[in-house]
Amino acid sequence: MVLAAVFLLALGGAAAYGDEPAQVRAERLPERWYAGDYGRKPTVRHQGSDGTCWALAAVSALEAALLPEQRIVFSADHMTRKNAFTVDLDEGGDVLMAMAYLSGWQGPVTEEEDPYGDGVSPDGLTPAVHVQEIQLLENAKPGTIKTAVRTYGAVQTSLYMKRSEDFAVSESDGDGRTAFYYNEQTKAYFCPEERTPNHDVVILGWDDHYSRFLFSETPERDGAFLCQNTWEDGFGEDGLFYVSYADPNLAKRCVCYTRVEPADNYARIYQYDDCGWQGRQGYADGTCWFANVYTAEADEDLAAVGFYAVGSDSSYELYLVPEFQDGTDFSRGEYLQKGKLKNAGYYTVDLEKPRALKAGERFAVAVKITTPGTDEPVAVEYRADAYTQNVTTAGKESYLSQDGERWENTQERFGTNVCLKAYTR
């Protein structure tokens, strides 16, 4: 059966946030909450004339995830200049680019090592932390976002915004009338029409009783999220402004940085997908097997496996094929463990029993994944557009299978690399 590859925007079904700590689930969400009241407000950023809001919002949300115990100001300059993509600063980016950069240990580095706006980014910098889990929330309801913000301090989200020099956001509504979406006096924003999101901000809190009459265009209900923008502290109040719950463009895609660890958590990462999730493949079925083959660089233990869930409610099984020779060896796969993932995103699964690898040994890591609601449940990297011209399949070995018995080499057959990482200690 022919495999199908789809573009990155055609993601899986809407995810629902569902694995917050039990103490948060058990409590009723307050009517008002702000991360800054708990020492979790990240540094206010200013993107200038560059299209870097996606990276600035990402590093701010990542900073908030470590607060208040640890404050590290991360470099957006490094994320935009030292990622694997061929994208100019004024061309923008998206959350999948940030996910590829972070999950691949390309960063993050600190702002002190690579300051924003100086036009350069040093070579040879190493990550200050390792980001091992990033959850995607799509078309999320307010309660879902609130729980995520309260648990992790911040949620990165896209929305539709227009701006001018004086930050007065306006445009014609098509009837010759001018519609103002941003109320500068009340620091409140609401766009009533559904538009294509073009900006990223960070949600830091909410107020259920924020009056709908404080917006220039009056929404149908009270309530707003408290967001931090990337237009320096001259916008809003110390960078903060309100966005109505009723804004149809908010939270179509949100990101939570849910597992951030010290940079010495694993000794090594094995991977093929520097540009990360660019498409999906499968056999017109919600279940698919996928695998990558690597060569151990030292005597070490396979400690964890990392991969994407392209939709919600995915279940998986992990396997190891030691001393791998060719595709027929998958029949020798050793079962490791299984689990479930509530949301779409990137996940690292630690092995209950690490497995020893010998230096020079070729080994295969394989995953059987089932994702309801999609026919292509495997995330893959390929040369999708002008921004992914650095993608190469040379020297890489990935496989897909419909049944776990007959396997196809994806580099040879489809020109894709499977997004599947191995971590060792």
pLDDT in tens, 129-170: 999 999 999 888 999 999 999 999 999 999 998 754 334 555
The last residue of one of the domains, among 212, 239, 257, is 257
Shared domain for 376 and 297, answered yes or no, is: yes
Shared domain for 47 and 149, answered yes or no, is: yes
> Which residues share a beta bridge with 253?
138
List, for residues 358-388, the tens digit of each pLDDT value. 999 999 999 999 999 999 999 999 998 989 9
CATH number at residue 343: 2.60.120
Residue with tokens 């307050």: 30
Query: What mean pLDDT value characterizes the chain?
Result: 90
The last residue of one of the domains, among 203, 234, 257, is 257
In a domain, 21, yes or no: no
304 token code pair = 């964890």
Shared domain for 381 and 413, answered yes or no, is: yes
The last residue of one of the domains, among 257, 292, 323, is 257
Mean local confidence (pLDDT), 194-199: 92
CA–CA separation, 344 and 309 (whole Å): 5
4-18, 226-240, 263-277 — which is least confidently predicted? 4-18
In a domain, 22, yes or no: no
Shared domain for 242 and 271, answered yes or no, is: no
Mean local confidence (pLDDT), 94-110: 97
Confidence class for position 9, pLDDT limits 50, 70, 90: very low
Shared domain for 66 and 131, answered yes or no, is: yes
In a domain, 221, yes or no: yes
What total number of domains does the chain contain?
Answer: 2
Beta strands, E only, 215-371: 224-228, 240-244, 253-262, 268-270, 279-281, 287-295, 300-309, 314-321, 334-341, 344-357, 362-370
Shared domain for 222 and 334, answered yes or no, is: no
In a domain, 18, yes or no: no
Can you give the residue range of the structural domain that contains 345?
A: 266-424
Shared domain for 242 and 326, answered yes or no, is: no
List, for residues 202-236, the tens digit of each pLDDT value. 999 999 999 999 999 999 999 999 999 998 767 89
Shared domain for 290 and 236, answered yes or no, is: no
Q: Is the confidence at residue 113, as pLDDT, over 70?
A: yes
Shared domain for 251 and 306, answered yes or no, is: no
Shared domain for 133 and 230, answered yes or no, is: yes
CATH number at residue 175: 3.90.70.10
User: 126 burial class (0-12, 13-18, 19+ CB within 10 angstroms)?
Assistant: exposed
